[in-house]
Amino acid sequence: MQGTKSQSFRSKVSELGVKTMQEIEKELITKAGQGDMRAFREIYQRVSGYVYTLAYRVVNTKHDAEEVTQDVFLKIHRSLNSFKFEASFKTWLYRIAVNTALNHAKKRSRVTRREVEETFEDPATVTQPDAGKRLEAGETESQLKILLDQLNPDQRACIVLREIEGVDYQGIASSLGININTVRSRLKRARETLMVLGRKEVASHGM
């Protein structure tokens, strides 16, 4: 097939995030699996941003993203000693994260307007060193939040894995335990919704 069906699951996270994800050494994983809390904490420090961000995109609130992050790391802690290194650690991690987030999101009701505003006002949710960049990043995050809020959890999970994690259709299908046509259909519905929103915004700005 033509096109970049990249198996490297390139991420849109910051450069630091990409570097740290790639640097989870086998030895560190093994130590943490044997109960070494310092090794586990090291893993947490390196990948918690990745997990939290992925969770946040699916559940769309800070509180829920924190709960999901906790659940994910507890699951990882319980399963590390049986991690077989057959798939990459990152693949294993994002599958646990997205499925935990998805299950959590489906149990919860839609985000209230109050929660949207609280998160909008919280500048600490995005890490950018420069104040100007922080403001810009905050605006981008708010816009993303508004967009993702239009989608249901299943659509959010597919869009996030595709657009932010760069996972191909087969990867999304196996991560979520669905077939490729379902992936295609959810992406289509999600994008149609976003396009309708885009047209409404254009109309409301009188462009």
Give the nearer residue to other proteins in terms of CB position, either 86 or 132.
132
What is each CA distance from 6 to 44, 165, 167, 206, in whole angstroms?
Answer: 27, 11, 8, 40
Binder to other proteins among 22, 79, 112, 127 (CB under 8 A)? 127
Residue 185 burial (CB < 10 Å; 0-12/13-18/19+)? middle
Binders in 174-203 for other proteins, by CB under 8 A: 184, 187-188, 190-192, 194-195, 197-199
- The nearest distance, CB 114 to other proteins, in angstroms, is 19
What is each CA distance from 128 to 114, 131, 141, 162, 199, in whole angstroms?
Answer: 25, 7, 12, 24, 31
Binders in 83-122 for other proteins, by CB under 8 A: none
* Measured distance CA(155)–CA(149) in Å, rounded: 10
Contacts of 16 (CB under 8 A, 6+ apart): none
Could you tell me if 134 and 123 are in contact, meaning their C-beta atoms sit under 8 angstroms apart? yes
Binder to other proteins among 29, 43, 141, 171 (CB under 8 A)? 141
Question: Of the listed pieces 5-13, 25-33, 83-91, 92-100, which binds other proteins according to CB under 8 A?
Answer: 5-13
Give the nearer residue to other proteins in terms of CB position, either 86 or 173.
173
Task: Output the CA angle 28-33-36, nearest 5 degrees.
Answer: 70
Between 37 and 66, how does the x/- string for binding to other proteins read (CB under 8 A)? x---x--x---xxx-xx--xx-------xx
**What are the residues binding other proteins (CB under 8 A)?**
1-5, 12-14, 16-17, 37, 41, 44, 48-50, 52-53, 56-57, 65-66, 69-70, 73-74, 77-78, 124-128, 137, 140-141, 143-144, 147, 159, 162-164, 168-169, 184, 187-188, 190-192, 194-195, 197-199
